[in-house]
Amino acid sequence: MNIYVSNLSFNLQDEDLKDFFAPYGEVTSAKVIMDRETGKSRGFGFVEMSDEAASQKAIAELDGATVENRSITVSVAKPREGRSSQNSGDRSGFNNRNSYNENRY
């Protein structure tokens, strides 16, 4: 099961996240999401656990737990929606007939 963890300390690394969930069962992966431009943590991550029962227990017990003086939120990760829908359709305000660039000359 894929687990979403938010409000993480910006000092937390992948291995720290894995170690935090390990007492609940086998952690197959743990990833703190980093900002592409700065290389710093974005304050959330994902943990993958092989056993669904262990995952549910970890979610129930760790949601609201304090890690490095921050109350984390732990929940089942929702599937990522496709990005193509964000770029299709009407792009109001971006080089349309009423855009700033066309009207300024």
Cα-based angle 77, 82, 86 (whole degrees, multiple of 5) = 120
The band of 79, judged by pLDDT with boundaries at 50, 70 and 90, is: confident
CATH number of the structural domain 2-78: 3.30.70.330
User: What are the tokens at 21?
Assistant: 């969930």
Mean of pLDDT over the chain: 85
User: Buried b vs exposed e over 20-59: b needs ≥16 C-beta within 10 Å?
Assistant: bbeebbebeebebeeeeeeeebebebebbbeeeebbeebb
| Section 11-35 average pLDDT | 96
Among 25, 17, 79, 22, CA closest to 51: 25
**Predicted TM-score (pTM) of this structure:** 0.75
Distance of CA 21 to the CA centre of its chain: 16
Residue 96 has pLDDT above 60, yes or no: no
